[in-house]
Structure 1
Amino acid sequence: MNLINKLSFIFLWLFLFTGCKAEFENGVSDIDSWDMADEFEPTMVHPGVLHTNEDCEHIRQMIEEKKEPYYATYQELIKEPKASAEYSIQGPFEIIARDGTYASTKGKAESDFDAIYLNAVMWMITQDPAHAQKSLELMLAYAGKLKDIDGNDTALMAGLEGIKIVYALEMLKYTYDVMTEEQFTQVSDMLKRVFLPVWEEFYEVTPYTNGNWGMNVLKSYLAASILWNDTEMYKKCVNLYMYGNDNGTIAHYIDGETGQCQESGRDQAHVILGLGAMATVCEIAWKQGNDLYSVFNNRAMLGYEYTVMYNLGYDVPFKTWTDVTGKYCEWTEISQETKKKNNGVDVDRGMKWQPCFYMMYNHYVNRKGLSMPYTTELLGIYQELEYDGGHPSYGPLLFNDLK
């Protein structure tokens, strides 16, 4: 560990760590009764789910000028088969699921939803109508057939996959004149019929999951509020993010003293999945004029730095966590595993990164001029050149130096 990193760790330990514990005893605090969402008025700029027109122009300019790391990342994106306008649909299906009776649909449906998103991204970048048409074709196929999401992982699937459709529909509605209002309504109605009830039910029932679920549900829910110009729905999402009684909220997922995450004792892959969803929530809100990145003294940054620090091989403080559900309190030490298969073998911490770091880095370092020493170190060795369906991915291209 070099001198700078040693000093950073000592500072983290002395000034932040006073005995890591869940900030909210048993997941309950007066904070749950606070209502400040009225302070967050969305601008309802369109397109406004992760990328605005200004962002799109910036990305296109960087590619045209062959600026790095944009151009090299773009070269990787165009190699991805699911980003191709020649992609062949694997479905559609009437019922989709991650497990249970309809588990056989998981990989194929996820592939189709990836292609919906990635072709919308390719349309945004290239302005080649073949990509817009492919994305629309896939969405309409599911709009005409999909009836339900099934299985124990219903909420997680709705959260992970819903945003891909929302992003594409939002982008095409405001940039692709060929799409008709009737086609937009068909896809929108499918989202309202199949996905929206799952998102809303998740926050109406007693909390029962680890926090990455709630964060992923919330990112899709928030994105949809922009698609539908629903200001009240948007404010509800802000309230859930800041004050909701669920493991998947900023207050209950990240400890405000150390940055330890609710799932840090579980495994690193799920922590990073949750943090990536958190970044997406914050970035969506930023595009609507609201700064969720800064809430609770930049707590999202603290969670990222703690997790990256550990996965780079440094020591971090850890204490057993008392979570909102009371079910996930048995972890007495930080997990050494990612539990994410790499060629069929479990890999140790830090050996299987996920492409979700540029978004946070771009905000705190590029926009705000703050320091993220461990994330900076990580991005020196990990370039986010691959696609991961759990995250928007391709950060050096899509979320680099955005305003």
Structure 2
Amino acid sequence: MAPSRIPRGVAVLLLALLPVVAAGSPAEPPPRGQHSRAAAPFRHPGVLVSGPQLRALRARVQDGDEPFRAFRAMRRSHYGQLSYAPRPVPVVECRPNVNPGVGCLDEREDAIAAYTHALIWAVTRDRAHAGKAVQIMDAWSARLTDHTEGNAPLQAAWAGSTWARAAELIRSTYGGWPPAGVHRFERLLRDVYLPEVTVAVPDHNGNWDLTLTDAATGIAVFLDDRAAYDEALRRFRARVPAYFYVRADGPLPRPPPGGQIDTPEEIAAYWFGQRTYPEGLAQETCRNLMHVGYALAATAHIAETALHQGTDLYAEVAPRITAALELHSRYQLGERPPASLCGGRVERTMGPDLEVAYHHYHGRLGADLPQTAKLLARQRPAGTDDLFVAWETLTHAADPG
């Protein structure tokens, strides 16, 4: 008789409950910020990418390992050129579903360019790229004063999450950003972005809430703002269970937190007409897989940043996210859903959104996620969605940590 084995899914959940060893090392710079004695200081760099991850990434790229293809693609992109010129505007005006607006694409692309140059600097130690990231951030902090129109919070979230990653890397690893520029950029994130990404959006589609919370989490860490960080984690814990369904929720998904949607009919309408709920279904599955991808990426970004700060949100949502990864990867790969799911038809538009979540659940914990692995193999090296996901094959695919 073969020896008994713990089922893979059970083993993953058991592993997820183990104590977390927080990112960071004695070689890292001392943490910044003053906090209450009860709260540990923030670790920097610690917005999506940690110091140990950067060191491992640098070694593997230089050794010509798998990340080299992703790094080469990033460096050759238009975002990675030293000739890149920022295009700041004083007011970004973005209406829903209206392009180009005023400054909408410019703001998002410039934020991604700043993050791209910060990553190139982190790998190569070429100060020209750090200087380019600083130039782009300084250009926007000198001009931007507001976001307006209906998509203002979401636009601020897309750009703000990326700005926080870029600024965190540069301030934590590069000594050439003048204090005046750093302080002006801090004010920009605190006064222009943070108010937008902390607005309540209970009855919006859930990718809004998660994307706003992604930005708020990164900005809070960069600003050493404990109150903003704690509020972001509260929103995460409220929204994720209302967005990704598991059977333990009962016959209906949880209603959006703080909203007005709570009857079976209202929930079905909110879930785009869906009335049966398989494990891992997302609130926007029957809308399209693109928006589910946004929500999965934002969820993983928040959990990854929190992990670097010593809080394991991944463990709290493991059954939901692993089920959602497999369900949506299967349909993105081309499998036809049953008639009971979205009328037998889904819109296969998911972008490069799964690397960070897969990195944790498979790379760190060993979860068997074959559909997700197959989809990622087709997408790699993943680039950017031109919104708020960028170069995550490079930063997370090859470092199980």
Same fold (TM over 0.5): yes
Residue 340 of structure 1: aligned partner: none
Secondary structure class of the residue paired with 1:96? strand
Distance 1:371 1:225 in 2: 33
Residue 313 of structure 2: aligned partner: 292
Secondary structure class of the residue paired with 2:367? coil
Give runs of aligned pairs for residues 3-402 of structure 1, distance below 5 A: 44-68=42-66, 70-89=67-86, 91-99=87-95, 103-200=101-198, 202-203=199-200, 207-243=202-238, 249-257=239-247, 258-316=279-337, 333=343, 335-337=345-347, 349=348, 352-400=349-397, 401-402=399-400
Residue 17 of structure 1: aligned partner: none
Aligned partner of 2:281: which letter?
A: Q
Secondary structure class of the residue paired with 1:388? coil
Structure 1's 297 and 117: CA in aligned 2 closer, same or farther, altered over 3 A?
closer
1:155-195 Cα offsets, whole Å, 9 max, x none, are 11011110111111111111111112221110110111211
Q: CA deviation at 1:356?
A: 1.8
The runs of at least 4 aligned residues of structure 1 exceeding 4 Å deviation read 40-43, 315-320
Structure 1's 192 and 366: CA in aligned 2 closer, same or farther, altered over 3 A?
same
Q: CA deviation at 1:281?
A: 1.0
Structure 1's 366 and 374: CA in aligned 2 closer, same or farther, altered over 3 A?
same
Q: Aligned Cα RMSD in Å?
A: 2.4
Residue 274 of structure 2: aligned partner: none
Residue 345 of structure 1: aligned partner: none
Are 2:112 and 2:390, in contact at CA under 8 Å, matched by a contact in 1? no
Aligned partner of 2:72: which letter?
A: Q
Distance 1:362 1:67 in 2: 17
1:63-95 Cα offsets, whole Å, 9 max, x none, are 110012x11111111111112222112x21011
Q: CA deviation at 1:215?
A: 0.9
Q: CA deviation at 1:381?
A: 2.3
Q: CA deviation at 1:306?
A: 1.2
Distance 2:226 2:317 in 1: 23
Count of aligned positions:
333
Structure 2, unpaired ranges of 5+: 1-8, 10-37, 248-278
Are 2:246 and 2:319, in contact at CA under 8 Å, matched by a contact in 1? no
Distance 2:340 2:242 in 1: 15
Percent identity, aligned pairs only, is 24
Secondary structure class of the residue paired with 2:245? coil
Distance 1:334 1:230 in 2: 46
Are 2:213 and 2:232, in contact at CA under 8 Å, matched by a contact in 1? yes
- TM score, norm. by length of structure 2: 0.78
Structure 1's 42 and 362: CA in aligned 2 closer, same or farther, altered over 3 A?
farther
Aligned partner of 1:268: which letter?
A: L
Are 1:266 and 1:335, in contact at CA under 8 Å, matched by a contact in 2? no
Are 1:76 and 1:385, in contact at CA under 8 Å, matched by a contact in 2? no
Q: CA deviation at 1:334?
A: 6.2
Distance 1:217 1:98 in 2: 16
Are 1:309 and 1:316, in contact at CA under 8 Å, matched by a contact in 2? no
Q: CA deviation at 1:402?
A: 4.0
Distance 1:160 1:335 in 2: 29
Q: CA deviation at 1:285?
A: 1.0
Distance 2:196 2:344 in 1: 32
Secondary structure class of the residue paired with 1:149? strand
Distance 1:84 1:154 in 2: 29
Structure 1's 282 and 41: CA in aligned 2 closer, same or farther, altered over 3 A?
farther
- TM score, norm. by length of structure 1: 0.77
Distance 2:339 2:234 in 1: 28
Aligned partner of 2:346: which letter?
A: Q
1:235-274 Cα offsets, whole Å, 9 max, x none, are 211111112xxxxx21111001300000011111111111
Structure 1, unpaired ranges of 5+: 1-10, 12-39, 244-248, 321-331, 338-348
Distance 1:260 1:101 in 2: 30
Distance 2:318 2:174 in 1: 40
